[in-house]
A and B are shown apart, each in its own frame.
Chain A
Amino acid sequence: MKRLGLLPALVILFVLAGCTADNDGDATSTAINVTGTDTTCELSSTEAPTGTITFAVKNEGSDATEFYLYSEDGTRIIGEVENIGPGLTRSLVVQPDPGSYVTACKPGMTGDGIRGEFVVTGSR
């Protein structure tokens, strides 16, 4: 019984939890390249229009890193991608409302990280 229930349960959970389309038709979709090292965190752009924003975070450092998108005051997590090992590129897909945000790379996966400002333009 349980055997039959497990897999569908996972699938249903996954569907209910909601996928985000990378290309939503009418909505804008922006790709931002982020390059992190042990001491730096470079974004290809610090501004994006409202819609789906994909941060492709490449780790060129020697330690594992994480990438965060915070609310303007730096307390609320809008999105996070962890376990970005050296040499890897992992994506964070978010659909934030227009406004100001804070980005952070966290080499070594600890501390406040290397922070920067990020702006989402447009109206809701």
Chain B
Amino acid sequence: MFANFLIGLREGLEAALVVSILIAYLVKSGCRDQLARVWTGVGMAVAASLATGAILTFGPRGLSFEAQEAIGGFLSVVAVGFITWMIFWMARTARNMKGELEGRADAAVIAGGWSLAAVAAFAVGREGLETALFLWTATKAAGSTLEPLAGAAFGLATAAGLALLIHRGAVRIDLRRFFFATGALLILVAAGVLSYGIHDLQEARILPGLNAIAFDVSSTVAPSSWYGTLLKGTLNFSPRTTWLEMMAWFGYSIPVITVFVRRMRPERTSPARSAVPAGASRILP
């Protein structure tokens, strides 16, 4: 039961994290009307994953190992692109909102349009097929034992619950701190997704170097332990990481963090921007 619970938790955590930050952002910037798009994206990804998973589980055809890894890897790389867009889109809005009251952001900047749906869809759909296959297998086993399905469902529910807690906390904190904290967190998440995608593509033999291991700490951070699950579920930390994965992780996170920090602190370098109206200064940290 517990092992199935951890699988559900791991598969659900990262998507729940990204979606909850996106929703917290929209709520904080007074764009509740955009929430429907986010949920549309989530709904489509869940539906597409479950449908594909059901066809593969119950239908006459299976998916080859390479194909599944290639899909996982490709979707991961696309998801990184959308999450990166989201980070800088939020950062741009943060800059625009400086000096204004919360909820009065520039409408044109806020209009993320259907990209919002795409971010949510890829964040959920990336690991959606694997999760759906796991869930359908658990459903298939429900005739003889309900434990795996109950465990998996409880794990996914826990991921959603944790996301709700993060969302509540995020909605409360100061807007500027919110942008910085969530932006930094999303960069780490995206870097993890990228290196995970690289690993999938290495397993599918689209990329080389699967056995060139940079470090292996799987004896200390066991993948089936609860902390291993949390690290894998949020940051995609792999206890056994290849050189190519590690290069991708640093190759992504270092430049993105550099650009992000520069964008988030424009007023320190530009004297013209330091003239913040007195009335607005109280919303700044």
Measuring CB to CB, which residues of chain A are less than 8 angstroms from any residue of chain B? Answer: 1-3, 6-7, 10-11, 13-14, 17-23, 54, 62-64, 75-83, 85-95, 108-111
* Contact partners of A89 in chain B: CB under 8 A: 137, 140-141
Given A64-B4, A64-B7, A83-B7: A88 and B141 interface contact (C-beta under 8 Å): yes
- Cβ contact of B62, chosen from A11, A54, A75, A83, cutoff 8 A: A54
Contacts from B to A (Cβ < 8 Å): 1, 3-4, 6-7, 11, 40-41, 44, 48, 52, 56, 60-65, 67-71, 74-75, 113-115, 117-118, 121, 125, 130, 133-134, 137-138, 140-141, 144-145, 147-148, 151-152, 203, 205, 210-211, 218-219, 222-224, 239-240
A109/B223 in contact, CB under 8 A: yes
Tell me whether B64 and A93 are in contact (CB under 8 A): yes
A sample of 8 more A-B contacts (CB under 8 A), given A2-B113, A21-B61, is A14-B63, A22-B60, A77-B203, A83-B134, A87-B144, A90-B137, A110-B223, A110-B224
B222 and A110 form a contact (CB under 8 A): yes
The residue among B3, B148, B203, B219 with the most chain A CB atoms within 10 A of its own CB is: B3
Contact B65 A78 (CB under 8 A): yes
Q: Is the CB of B60 within 8 A of A21?
A: yes
Instruction: Say whether, besides A85-B3, A85-B152, A110-B218, A23 and B60 are in contact (CB < 8 Å).
Output: yes
User: Can you list 30 A-B contacts with CB-CB less than 8 angstroms, sorted by A residue number?
Assistant: A2-B114, A3-B117, A6-B41, A6-B118, A14-B52, A14-B63, A14-B71, A17-B63, A19-B67, A21-B60, A22-B60, A64-B6, A75-B210, A76-B205, A77-B210, A78-B65, A79-B64, A79-B65, A80-B65, A82-B130, A85-B7, A86-B1, A86-B148, A87-B141, A87-B145, A88-B134, A88-B137, A94-B64, A95-B64, A108-B222
